[in-house]
């Protein structure tokens, strides 16, 4: 197959995609959010993370990427201007419609790259489990999240990380240096324990310990994190962002290599 001029679906013609589907059936689907990331980070942090991971893994492996979904499940950030949230139910339906469209054309192996750690997963997991069981049993669906994919590199950070913290800020700083307001990075850390019990998930990108989920809304969040940042970002750096990014891209490239050969436990997922 002739090399396509872009990995991004929106930059290709339908004939390019039809040609790709003659020899490949893998596609990446980046999902982010448009939500506040404290005074130092742009509203697109999670989307930029998903886009960067998808784009660099696609360039190394030659697979395609769907246009990014810039909106995610962010209701708890809605008290900050600029945040745009989908309800979990809406995200489920959007993800299902994107996946069904792709499957209709012959994409049989779909990897969702979620840049909005954890919170998008309720909707994305619901969509994937339901589709794979009932409507698309022969389509391979998987979900990538830095919270799980980057466990082996999380030791490079100095601070506990929850929201707008060291590594996610570093990631965007590495890829889009002009988007981080360095003078607004903070050494402040919201102590969640008095609010969420000793069983709160203390570090989304590190050792969390035993945990119990407690839900909070946007009003409560604005009260306990008035700047929007939960986490110490003062040790963020483009170099940490590079290491974090390259570690995850390497894992993704490995996974895509494995997936090319994968036919599923009953041999129905194949090119």
Interacting residues toward Zn ion by CB under 5 A: 45-46, 168
Distance CA 124, CA 119 (A): 9
Nearer to Zn ion among residue 45 and residue 69 (C-beta): 45
Nearer to Zn ion among residue 24 and residue 168 (C-beta): 168
CB of 47 to Zn ion, least distance (A): 9
CB of 168 to Zn ion, least distance (A): 5
CB of 143 to Zn ion, least distance (A): 16
Nearer to Zn ion among residue 25 and residue 46 (C-beta): 46
Which residue is closest to Zn ion by CB?
Answer: 46
CB of 209 to Zn ion, least distance (A): 21
Nearer to Zn ion among residue 7 and residue 165 (C-beta): 165
């Amino acid at each position: 197959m002739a090399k396509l001029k872009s990995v991004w679906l929106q930059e290709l013609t339908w004939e390019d995609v039809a040609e790709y589907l003659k020899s490949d059936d893998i596609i990446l689907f980046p999902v982010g959010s448009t939500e506040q990331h404290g005074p130092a980070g742009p509203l697109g942090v999670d989307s930029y993370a998903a886009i960067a991971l998808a784009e660099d893994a696609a360039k190394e492996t030659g697979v395609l990427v769907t246009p990014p979904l810039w909106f995610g499940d962010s209701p708890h950030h809605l008290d900050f201007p600029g945040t745009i949230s989908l309800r979990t139910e809406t995200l489920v339906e959007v993800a299902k419609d994107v996946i069904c469209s792709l499957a209709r054309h012959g994409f049989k192996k779909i990897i969702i790259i979620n840049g909005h750690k954890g919170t998008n997963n309720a909707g994305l997991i619901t969509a994937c489990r339901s589709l794979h069981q009932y409507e698309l049993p022969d389509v391979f669906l998987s979900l990538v999240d830095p919270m799980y994919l980057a466990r082996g590199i999380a030791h490079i950070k100095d601070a506990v990380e929850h929201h707008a913290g060291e590594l996610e800020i570093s990631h965007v700083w590495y890829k889009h240096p002009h988007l981080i307001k360095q003078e607004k990075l903070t050494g402040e850390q919201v102590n969640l324990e008095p609010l969420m019990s000793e069983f709160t998930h203390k570090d989304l990108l590190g050792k969390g310990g035993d945990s119990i989920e407690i839900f909070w809304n946007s009003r409560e969040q604005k009260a306990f994190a008035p700047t929007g940042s939960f986490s110490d970002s003062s040790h963020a750096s483009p170099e940490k962002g590079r290491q974090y990014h390259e570690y995850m891209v390497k894992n993704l490239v490995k996974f895509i290599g494995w997936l090319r050969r994968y036919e599923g436990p009953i041999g129905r997922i194949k090119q």
